[in-house]
C-alpha cells in the first residue's frame, strides 16, 4: 500500500463523519383548552423554531396539531392550532413550501392534547 494511502483513508473517513445529517429537532407549542390562539410563551417557541430552521436548513418542518376527542370540532381545533403555528412561522420569514401541516385527534387528555408538535427534518 502506498505511503499516502493511510492518511487519505483517514481524511475520507473524517469527511464522512462530518456529512451526517443533523438529528431531527422537535419543539412543542402548548395551547389553552379549546383555543387555537398562540400564547406569549407559544410565540416565543415559534420564534425558537424559526431561528432553528434558519440555522439548520431543514428539508421540511412538520407541524402536527393535536386536540383530544374524536369529534369534527376536535379535528378542526387541531387543524387551527397547526395553522396558527404555520402562520406565525411564515410571518417570521419561513418559506411556506417548507411547512407540512397535519391535524391529529388523540386519546390523550389534558395538556398533552393541547399542543402542536413541530419537527425540523
The pLDDT score that the predictor gives to residue 25 is: 95
The 10s digit of each residue's pLDDT in 82-96 is 999 999 999 999 999
- Of 12 and 24, the one with more pLDDT: 24
For residues 84 and 73, what is the distance between their CA atoms, to the nearest angstrom?
16
Which residue ranges form the domains of the chain, and what is each CATH number?
A: 22-120 (3.30.1330.60)
Is the overall model pTM greater than 0.85, yes or no? no
Nearest to 69 by CA among 111, 112, 33, 108: 108
- Alpha helices by DSSP H, the chain: 5-18, 40-56, 72-91
Mean pLDDT of 9-20: 54
Least trusted range by pLDDT, from 61-70, 76-85, 110-119: 110-119
Amino acid at each position: 500500500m502506498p505511503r499516502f494511502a493511510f492518511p487519505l483513508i483517514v481524511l475520507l473517513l473524517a469527511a464522512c463523519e462530518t456529512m451526517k445529517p443533523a438529528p431531527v429537532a422537535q419543539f412543542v407549542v402548548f395551547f389553552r383548552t379549546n383555543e387555537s390562539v398562540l400564547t406569549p410563551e407559544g410565540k416565543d417557541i415559534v420564534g425558537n423554531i424559526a431561528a432553528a430552521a434558519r440555522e439548520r436548513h431543514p428539508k421540511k418542518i412538520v407541524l402536527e396539531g393535536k386536540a383530544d376527542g374524536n369529534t369534527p370540532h376536535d379535528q378542526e381545533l387541531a387543524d387551527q392550532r397547526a395553522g396558527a403555528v404555520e402562520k406565525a412561522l411564515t410571518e417570521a420569514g419561513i418559506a411556506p413550501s417548507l411547512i407540512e401541516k397535519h391535524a391529529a385527534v388523540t386519546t390523550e387528555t389534558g395538556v398533552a392534547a393541547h399542543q402542536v408538535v413541530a419537527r425540523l427534518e
